[in-house]
Amino acid sequence: MPPPRRTGWPALRPLVLRLHFYAGLLIAPFLLVAAVTGLLYAGSLQAEKIVYAHELRTDSGGTQLPLSRQVDAALRAHPEGTLTAVRPSAEPGATTRVILDAPGLGESESLAVFVDPYTGKVRGALESYGSSGALPLRATIDHLHRDLLLGEPGRLYSELAASWLWVVVLGGVLLWLGRRRSARRLRGTTGRRRTLSRHGTVGLWSAAGLLALSATGLTWSAYAGENIGRLQDALGGATPAVSTEVPGMPANMPGMSHGEHAGHGGHDKHTGHAGHDGSAAAAVKGLDTTVRTAQQQEGLTGPVEIRVPTAAAPAYVVQQTDKQWPAHLDSIAVDPASGQVTDRLDFADYPLLAKLTRWGIDVHMGVLFGLANQVALAALMVALILVIVWGYRMWWQRRPRRSRAPRAHPRGAWRQVPLPVLFPLVAVTAAVGWFLPLFGVPLLAFLVLDAGIGMLARRRARAA
């Protein structure tokens, strides 16, 4: 006969406890890998500045050369490359980054040529990844964190971790708050109770940050990310883009190379270049006028990226790239022939959802608040690692003394949940499982596995 149904938190606690146990036991290895690689990534942003200091910085001084001459120097040094964009030196001592499409590069990869803006000398060239311009060290760690260097199939690991992190965190918070009356008794104890105290306290203090990382990580995922994108578009929160149409110019003019836009996870690659006459020389020559227009007339100061015209986008696009708070991400489009601004888009005019998405991604990447953001990310990753290690330690400490196998929490917890609560809970879980497939599929697998183990145990009991 099933046990009598309880009410309130006592009815839900066994179900939450069992879900937290299974998720912690089976999903924690993926979370641990994500935490370790995330910790490495948090440090890679500063390490990149040290490792590639020769390419990124120069001791030269004086007056900067025209941007077109700097780009010419890069193209002469790497004639195999096709100009796609330029990031002019934004501060004294910083080099100019000329971004080329070159043979042999992978998806979302470019060749970044670093030019001394004062002398025009090329200081080096490195592969760069995505719109963030990650150089080889950071790009490798980024791929390690995202897909374990396995490519698209490897992304399933990170999506699984992000899909379950919020479940583990919320379950832990509910369990800890549910026993807050006895929390004081945990202090000064030893063994499993001390481990529980550390596990719960660190988990509680880091819960908000971990939930934010779970939500922002899902926006880059393969399956849940697609659903999130559709929902954002339906709510009118899609990220807008400046119009690159040029009045009086027909689309896809002959002689222009076709642009290609590819990438994933917020990283784009732009290939193809052209001026009005379809030549690379015209695209380079127009950079000087374009950068003056952006800085002097439109006030686009600080670091910017200038994308050269393509057949699909026949205008120059100048966009601020300062993602630190407050973000400066205004952009303009400039007619290559006249040098006139044809469109402008300010970050202040983004829909609220688009702003939140941008800020969330930048927090996840450790750039919104600069070094403080990176330190906070590292602290969160350390906290998650400790919580996982303490969780496994509790699992081991809970084992029966005469057996080395740690025991699980008893089955049948769902039978104690009142039906008016159970039915909506099942409906919501099914909806979330559909929206986040790598939460729903593993959960279904857990339930099937648990039911199979229960049936096997009952058969053994009857046979005995």
Identify the structural domains of the chain with CATH numbers, from first to last.
9-42+148-230+369-463 (no CATH), 56-147 (3.10.450.40), 247-365 (no CATH)
pLDDT tens string for the chain (464 positions)? 555 556 667 778 888 888 898 888 889 999 999 999 999 999 999 999 999 999 999 999 899 999 999 999 999 999 999 999 999 999 999 999 999 999 999 989 999 999 999 999 999 999 999 999 999 999 999 999 999 999 999 999 999 999 999 999 999 999 998 876 555 554 556 688 889 999 999 999 999 999 999 999 999 899 999 999 999 999 999 999 999 999 876 554 433 333 333 333 343 444 444 433 446 788 899 999 999 999 999 999 999 999 999 989 999 999 999 999 999 999 999 999 999 999 999 999 999 999 999 999 999 999 999 999 999 999 999 999 999 999 999 888 876 665 555 555 666 667 777 788 888 999 999 999 999 999 999 999 888 887 787 788 778 878 86
Report the run of H or E that residue 292 belongs to, with start and end: helix 280-292
| Single-letter code of the amino acid located at 26 | L
Place of tokens 């000087």: 288
Looking at residue 24, what is its pLDDT? Answer: 86
Report the run of H or E that residue 286 belongs to, with start and end: helix 280-292
Share in percent of the chain as helix, strand, coil (round to 5): 55, 10, 35
Looking at residue 283, what is its pLDDT? Answer: 87
Judged by DSSP in three states, 127 sits in strand
Q: Whole-model pTM above 0.95?
A: no
Looking at residue 188, what is its pLDDT? Answer: 53
Looking at residue 189, what is its pLDDT? Answer: 63
Looking at residue 193, what is its pLDDT? Answer: 86
Residue ranges of alpha helices (H) inside 27-120 are: 28-51, 53-56, 67-77
